[in-house]
Chains A and B, each alone.
Chain A
Amino acid sequence: MSDIITVKDLVLVYGDGTKAVDNISFTVQDGEFFGFLGPNGAGKSTTIKVLTTLLRKTSGSATVAGYDVEKEAGAIRKVIGVQSQETTVDGDLTGRENLELQGHFHQMKTSEIKQRVNELLKLVELESVAEKRARNYSGGMKKRLDLATALVHKPKLLFLDEPTTGLDPQSRSTIWTYLQKLNKEDGITIFLTTQYLEEADKLCKRLSIIDFGKIVASGSPTELKHEVGADSIRVALENCDKDRAKAKEIIKTMSGVSEIIDSEDCINVYAKNAGQLIADIVRALDSSDIRLSSVTFSSPSLDDVFMKHTGRRIRAEDLVKAPSAMFGGRRR
C-alpha cells in the first residue's frame, strides 16, 4: 500500500512564537484509519490545518495524496474532505442547501450534486429534516450534517478534527458507525484527531500520541498497550510528598514490578501480577507506617500509554463538557 500522507520534520510556529507543532514525522497509508490522540492544545488541529492547506508550515515537508502542501494546495483541496473542530453549518440554510452549496464549492455538476446530496442525507439520517433550516437542528444533527458536507465530492481522504467533541454518547456512537462504514465500505482514508481514548481505541487502526507538539508514541492501539506491557497499579498516599520516595523504595524490591513512575495520584506501578501485588503493597506500606488513601489497578489502556510517556492523564471527559447534550434538544 502506498502512503497517502507523508509528513517529515514538520514544524509550525505561530506568529506569537508558540511552537504548536514541534518536528513531527509520520505517514498514513492509503485506506488506513489513522488517529492523533492528545489533550487540548497538543498540536492536533494545527497539524490538520497544515495538511488541509489552511496554514503555512514553518519548516519540514508534507505531502497529501502525493501533492506538496505548499506548492500544490489547489490539487489537495479537490481530493480531501475536512470536518473542522467547530461545527460549521450555515444555520440560515436548510440541511439540503448546506450540502448543495458544498457541492458547488467543489464545482460539481448540478445533476450530480442532487443525486449525491440525496445519498448523503440518507447516510446521515437527516432526510426528514432536509428542508428545515440547520439553525434548528440539535448538536448531534449539526455534526452529522457537517460530516456529510465533507463528503459531497467523494473525497479519497477525510480529515476529522475532533468529530465527536461535545456530543452526547449516543450521537457519538452514531458518528462512529458512519466513520467505520466510510472507511471499510468506501475505502476512504481517515485522519482523525481526538482527545477521547475510547474513540481512538475503537476506531483507529494506527495512531500517534501527541503532546506539546511532539509525537510521543505511535502504533496500533494493541501494540501501544502491549508496550506498556503490564497492568498498572495506581497508589495514592495520604501524604504523598513526604512518603513518596520511601514507598517507591519499598515497592521497587517486590517481584514482578517492571516500572514505577510519579503520577498525579502519587505513584504508578507497572507489573505483570497486579492482582497479587496489591495485597503485598498494602501490607508492606502499612507496616512501614505509610498511610494509603487508595489503591486501584487496571489493565493497560491508552491512557496508561499516554501516562507512561508524559506522566499525565488525558482526562478529556473532565475538560470538555458536552454543551450539545444540554442544549441540543431544542427544536422547532
Chain B
Amino acid sequence: MTLFSDTRYLFVRYLKKLVRNPILLFFSLFQPIIFLVLFTQLLTNFSKFVVLPGGSYIEFATAGILLQNAFGSALQSGTSIVLDIDSGYLQKMLVTPVRREAILLGRLTSDAFRVVVQSAIILGLAYAFGAFVTTGVIGILLIFFTIAFFGLAWSGISLAIGMKTRSSETVFAIGGFLTFPLLFLSPALFPIDFLPPWVGTVSMFNPISYAVNAIRVLMTTGYDWGTILPSWGVIALVALVTMSLTLYQFRKVVR
C-alpha cells in the first residue's frame, strides 16, 4: 500500500519536473521528428523499388522511428538518477521511511508515461503524413504498451550505468554509442531483404528487431500474434537482465 502511494508521489514529482522543463521533452523528440520528416520525404520513391509492408515508406518507417524515440528517452533515465545522487536528493529520500523500491518505480513509470506521450505525438505527425495504424484504437494501445515495455527494459541499462558511473556524460556517451548500430542493424528503417545478408543475421540477435516487428505488424498488417508475442518475450528477457543490473546497482547505492 505504501509502495503504491510512494510510487505515485514520486511519479508525480518526475512528471512535474518534466513538464516544467519542456525543453527536455522536445529535445528528445527533435531527432525522431527530423527522421520522420526527412527520411520519409527523401525516401518517398523507395517503395517503387522494394515491396514494403504497409505500402508507403512512411507507413513502414514509423515503427522504427517510434522505437528510436523510445530508445533515446530510455537512455535519459539514467541521467536523472545521477542528478538526484549528485544533488543529494537521493540521500534526502533515503533518510525518510519512503519505500526504496518506489524510488525506482516512480522513475520507471514516469519514463513509460513520457514515452507514450511522445509516441502519441509521433503517431499524430505520421498520420498527418499519411501513415495509419491498421489495427485501430486497440492496436494503438498495444503499440503504446509495447513501446512502454521496451522503454522500461532499456531504462534499466541507463539507470544501471548511471548508478555505477555517477556521470551523466557517460550515460549519454554509451547511449549515443549504442543507438545507431542497434537501430541500423535492425529492420527499423529498412526492410531486412533490402540489407546485406550479414545484417540480416546480426539483426536476428538484435532485440530491437523484435520490438520493431511487433509495432510494424500492428501498424501495417494486423494482430499477428505470432510476431507480437515472441517480441514481448524478447523485451521481457531484456528487461529481466537490465532490471537485475539496475537492482544490483541500486542496492549498492541505498546500502
Task: Check if A106 is an interface residue, CB within 8 A of chain B.
Answer: yes
Other-chain residue from A56, A86, A88, A92 in contact with B16 (beta carbon distance below 8 A) = A92
Contact A107 B255 (CB under 8 A): no
Once A86-B87, A86-B88, A88-B87 are accepted as A-B contacts, the answer to whether A105 and B16 lie under 8 Å apart by CB is no
- Do B9 and A52 touch (CB < 8 A)? no
Contact A54 B88 (CB under 8 A): no
Q: Mark B5-41, 1 if CB is under 8 A from A, else 0.
A: 1100100010011001100000000000000000000
B5, B17, B88, most chain A CB atoms within 10 A: B88
Of all chain B residues, the one with the shortest Cβ separation from A86 is B88
Tell whether, in the assembled complex, residue B255 and residue A74 are in contact, meaning their CB atoms are under 8 Å apart.
no
Q: For B20, what are the chain A residues with a Cβ–Cβ distance below 8 Å?
A: 92, 133
A residues near B2, Cβ cutoff 8 Å:
107
A107–B95 alpha-carbon span in the complex (Å): 13
Q: Is the CB of A55 within 8 A of B255?
A: yes
Interface stretch, picked from A77-85, A242-250, A275-283, is A77-85
Q: A78 to B96: give the CA distance in the assembly, Å.
A: 7
Query: Are B92 and A82 in contact, CB atoms less than 8 angstroms apart?
Result: yes
- Tell whether, in the assembled complex, residue B87 and residue A82 are in contact, meaning their CB atoms are under 8 Å apart: no
- Would A93 and B87 be within 8 Å (CB), given that A77-B95, A104-B6 are in contact? no
Q: Which residue of A lies closest to B87 (CB)?
A: A88
Contact for B92 among A53, A88, A97, A107, CB less than 8 A: A88
Given contacts A54-B255, A133-B20, A101 and B13 within 8 Å (CB-CB): yes
Q: How large is the interface on B (under 10, 10 to 19, 20 to 34, 35 or more residues)?
A: 20 to 34
Which residues on B sit within 8 Å (CB–CB) of A106?
Answer: 96-98
Does B174 sit at the interface, judged by CB under 8 A? no
Are A52 and B6 neighbours in the complex by a CB distance under 8 Å?
Answer: no
Q: Is the CB of A107 within 8 A of B5?
A: yes
Contacts A56-B255, A80-B95, A92-B21 hold; do A107 and B13 have CB atoms under 8 A apart?
no
- A107 close to B89 (CB less than 8 A): no
Bound-state CA distance A219–B88 (Å) is 32
Complex CA distance for A52 and B89, rounded to whole angstroms:
15
Give residues of chain A (31-90) contacting chain B, Cβ–Cβ below 8 Å.
52-56, 74, 77-78, 80, 82, 84-86, 88, 90
* B93, A54: Cβ atoms closer than 8 Å: no
Main SS of the interface on chain B?
helix
Confirm or deny: A102 has a beta carbon within 8 angstroms of a beta carbon on chain B.
Answer: yes
Q: Say yes or no: B88 contacts A82, CB within 8 Å.
A: no
For B165, the chain A residues whose CB sits under 8 A away are none
| B16/A97 in contact, CB under 8 A | yes
A74 to B255, CA, bound (A): 13
Task: Identify the interface centre among A56, A102, A105: most chain B CB within 10 Å of its CB.
Answer: A105
Are B96 and A84 touching (Cβ within 8 A)? no
Interface size on A, residues (CB 8 A): 27
Q: Are B91 and A88 in contact (CB under 8 A)?
A: yes
Minimum C-beta distance from B34 to chain A (A): 27
B13 close to A53 (CB less than 8 A):
no
Q: Check A90 against B17 for contact (C-beta < 8 Å).
A: yes
Does B94 make an interface contact (CB < 8 A)?
yes
Asked whether, in the complex, the Cβ of B97 is within 8 Å of the Cβ of A74, the reply is: yes
Interface string of A83-123 (1 = CB under 8 A from B): 01110101011000100011011110000000000000000
A-B contact count (CB 8 A): 64
**Hey, which chain B residues are within 8 Å of A107, CB to CB?**
2, 5-6, 97-98
Partner of B96, one of A55, A56, A77, A92: A77
Residues of A with C-beta under 8 A to B89: 88, 90
A102 to B20, CA, bound (A): 20
Residue of A nearest to B98 (CB): A105
In the complex, how many angstroms separate the beta carbon of B5 from the nearest chain A beta carbon? Answer: 7
- Whether the pair A52, B95 counts as a contact (CB closer than 8 A) is yes
Residues of B with C-beta under 8 A to A153:
96
Q: Which of B9, B88, B94 contacts A104 (CB 8 A)?
A: B9
> Which residues of chain A have C-beta atoms less than 8 A from B5's C-beta?
104, 107
Given A90-B13, A133-B20, A102 and B96 touching (CB < 8 A)? Answer: yes
Complex contacts, B13 vs chain A, CB 8 Å: 90, 93, 101
Within 8 A of A (CB), among B78-131: 87-89, 91-98
A128 to chain B, nearest CB (A): 21
Q: A56-B255, A78-B97, A107-B5 are in contact. Are A84 and B17 (CB under 8 A)?
A: no
A55 / chain B contacts, CB cutoff of 8 Å:
255
B97 touches A77 (CB 8 A): yes
A53 touches B95 (CB 8 A): yes
Which residue of chain A lies nearest to B14 when distances are taken between CB atoms in the complex?
Answer: A92
Given contacts A88-B87, A88-B89, A133-B20, contact A54 B96 (CB under 8 A): no
Expressed in whole angstroms, the minimum distance between the Cβ of A195 and any Cβ of chain B is 18
Chain B residues closer than 8 Å to A54, beta-carbon distance: 91, 94-95, 255
Most buried by A among B87, B91, B92: B92
Give 10 nearest A-B pairs by CB, closest first: A105-B96, A86-B88, A88-B88, A105-B98, A104-B9, A92-B17, A82-B95, A88-B92, A77-B97, A52-B95
Q: List 5 A-B residue pairs with CB atoms under 8 Å apart, sorted by A's residue number.
A: A54-B91, A84-B92, A97-B16, A101-B13, A107-B5
